[in-house]
């Protein structure tokens, strides 16, 4: 079971839906070839389908996840290892039975990964259209905030700025609508309101999250940093 911070448990989720913003790293973790998927990320998707949480994903993350997964997980290892098996047989390093077992394993690996990459678009569509998941398109309010961010000292590339504006804009909207538990889980160090190596708070970015009422977590268990209450965003652990 995923621990969604020490301040509440699975039973608490029946009382109020938690609102969780996620970005490309989450899509990567749930849509990669099966053997590379992250259990805690999958658990968040299951919790959304069960109605315990509501997930929000900026639309721009879908294309990035598709490109990254296809680039990273091409089964090229099978070709390299296949060449090793051929060499090992010729050099009597492997006997025929062991070599055949290796060939079967490599063929299975290559076929399975290729098949999953071929249907990646459908996998991403299924994830982003699942019950409890909402894709956030770019709207006028987000565009305006994106312009406002240009006048800060927060250094983000265009893509991360789009994610941040989506989280802050929709997060504030949810808070203004009465939601009390609004979170952003990101593995992207550029979007964390603290320096990843030193845990030093990044005051300007931290203030934006605090003003929007969005608590930032750095892992898919939604457990770190610990959320003590409404005293403002903690920094990294």
Is 24 contained in some domain? yes
Report d(CA 150, CA 144) in Å as an integer: 10
- Number of H-type helices and E-type strands within the chain: 9, 5
Please tell me whether residues 156 and 109 are part of one structural domain: no
Please tell me whether residues 32 and 92 are part of one structural domain: no
Domain around 62 = 10-70+121-217
Please tell me whether residues 41 and 61 are part of one structural domain: yes
What is the end-to-end Cα distance of the chain in Å, rounded? 22
Please tell me whether residues 108 and 168 are part of one structural domain: no
Please tell me whether residues 89 and 189 are part of one structural domain: no
Peptide bond preceding 168 in cis form (omega within 30 of 0):
no
Please tell me whether residues 186 and 204 are part of one structural domain: yes
* pLDDT tens for each residue of 189-208: 999 999 988 889 899 999 99
* pLDDT tens for each residue of 6-31: 333 444 444 578 999 999 999 999 99
What's the pLDDT band for 230 if we cut at 50, 70, 90? low
Please tell me whether residues 99 and 63 are part of one structural domain: no
Please tell me whether residues 114 and 125 are part of one structural domain: no
Please tell me whether residues 63 and 140 are part of one structural domain: yes
Is 20 contained in some domain? yes
Q: Is residue 60 pLDDT above 50, yes or no?
A: yes
How many domains, the chain? Answer: 2
Average pLDDT over residues 130-150: 89
* pLDDT tens for each residue of 80-104: 888 988 998 888 898 989 989 999 9
Report d(CA 157, CA 151) in Å as an integer: 14
Q: Is residue 232 pLDDT above 80, yes or no?
A: no
At CA 43, angle to CA 108 and CA 225, rounded to 5? 120
pLDDT at 2 (0 to 100)? 44
Report d(CA 202, CA 207) in Å as an integer: 9
Please tell me whether residues 206 and 131 are part of one structural domain: yes
What's the pLDDT band for 237 if we cut at 50, 70, 90? low
Q: What is the pTM of this model?
A: 0.84
């Amino acid at each position: 079971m995923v621990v969604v911070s020490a301040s509440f448990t699975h039973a608490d989720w029946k009382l109020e839906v938690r609102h969780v913003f996620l970005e490309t790293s989450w899509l990567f973790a749930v849509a990669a070839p099966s053997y590379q998927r992250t259990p805690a990320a999958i658990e968040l998707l299951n919790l959304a389908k069960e109605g315990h949480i509501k997930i929000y994903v900026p639309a721009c993350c879908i294309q990035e996840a598709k490109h990254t997964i296809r680039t990273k997980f091409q089964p090229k290892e099978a070709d390299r290892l296949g060449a090793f098996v051929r060499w090992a047989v010729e050099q009597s390093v492997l006997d025929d039975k062991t070599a055949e077992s290796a060939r079967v394993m490599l063929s299975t690996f290559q076929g399975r990964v290729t098949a999953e990459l071929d249907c990646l678009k459908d996998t991403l569509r299924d994830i982003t259209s699942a019950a409890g998941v909402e894709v956030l398109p770019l709207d006028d309010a987000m565009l305006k905030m994106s312009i406002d961010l240009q006048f800060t000292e927060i250094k983000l590339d265009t893509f991360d700025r789009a994610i941040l504006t989506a989280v802050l804009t929709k997060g504030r909207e949810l808070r203004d609508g009465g939601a009390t538990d609004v979170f952003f889980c990101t593995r992207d160090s550029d979007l964390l309101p603290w320096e990843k190596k030193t845990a030093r708070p990044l005051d300007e970015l931290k203030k934006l999250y605090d003003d929007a009422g969005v608590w930032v977590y750095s892992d898919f268990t939604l457990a770190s940093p610990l959320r003590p209450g409404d005293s403002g965003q903690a920094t990294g652990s």
